[in-house]
Chains A and B, each alone.
Chain A
């Protein structure tokens, strides 16, 4: 199974700033995803990170707020832009190795 790492593991940020989260996979994968897990809530899919093209966003999420890069088949970044306290969440990347999806350890973000 794929081994996934994320950086940073946690951060505390000021409102109005931006944070970029990195996701690295130890093998080439076609499909990568970004999820958000708000405090006490379940996971919600933000977008599918597509290699070589724009990410595909789910309803309620927009590129200006969550720009995503996918420069190759092993790496992706998610930026949380112009942060507010409501963005405090755990952000997780995942990869699909059909038929299973594997998750990274998550990035715990606190916005003050």
Chain B
């Protein structure tokens, strides 16, 4: 079956540091890939997505590139802010839809001044 593996947290960074959160996946076919973010006390929000190989999703300074050859979808941001402190979830869905999402375990990011 499908699965998503994320790097374990928590990740603690100073403001303006570079962020990478690794995500790899196992799936049949060509899944769509997502990053969701959960800010403290709030629900999940879609951060970015990519639906085919080599697509780059981007939003709010975050980027992730769909790499089929390495089955990866690593999240990056060049300069994090304190307001980026949250839990980040990598997820996939079967090709073409966002139904039946399979989530990774989540990575907590803490950004300090």
User: Among residues 41 to 57 in chain B, which have CB atoms less than 8 Å away from a CB atom of chain A?
Assistant: 42-46, 49, 51
Q: Fill in one digit per residue for A87-112: 1 if any B CB lies within 8 Å of its CB, else 0.
A: 00000101010111111111000000
Given contacts A41-B105, A43-B89, A101-B99, contact A92 B49 (CB under 8 A): no
CB of A53 within 8 Å of the partner chain: no
A-B contact count (CB 8 A): 49
Given contacts A42-B106, A92-B44, A106-B43, contact A101 B89 (CB under 8 A): no
In angstroms, Cα B51 to Cα A41, docked, is 25
In angstroms, Cα B46 to Cα A94, docked, is 12
Q: Which residue of B lies closest to A97 (CB)?
A: B98
Chain B interface bracket (under 10, 10 to 19, 20 to 34, 35 or more) = 20 to 34
CB of B31 within 8 Å of the partner chain: no
CB of B103 within 8 Å of the partner chain: yes
Dominant secondary structure at the A interface: strand
Q: For the complex formed, measure the closest distance between the CB of A6 and the CB atoms of chain B, giving whole angstroms.
A: 8
Cβ-defined contact, B100 with A104, below 8 A: no
Most chain B CB within 10 A, of A4, A42, A103, is at: A42
CB of A73 within 8 Å of the partner chain: no
In angstroms, Cα B93 to Cα A101, docked, is 10
Cβ-defined contact, B97 with A98, below 8 A: yes
Cβ-defined contact, A100 with B46, below 8 A: yes
Cβ-defined contact, B98 with A105, below 8 A: no
Q: Which residue of A lies closest to B42 (CB)?
A: A105
Q: In the complex, what residues of A have CB within 8 A of residue B51's CB?
A: 99
12 new A-B contacts, CB < 8 A, other than A96-B99, A101-B101, A106-B43, are: A33-B99, A42-B104, A45-B100, A48-B100, A96-B98, A98-B97, A100-B46, A101-B46, A101-B93, A102-B46, A103-B36, A105-B42
The 18 listed contacts between A and B (C-beta, < 8 Å) are: A4-B43, A42-B103, A42-B106, A43-B101, A48-B99, A94-B44, A96-B97, A96-B99, A98-B98, A99-B97, A100-B46, A100-B49, A100-B98, A101-B101, A102-B46, A103-B36, A103-B43, A103-B45
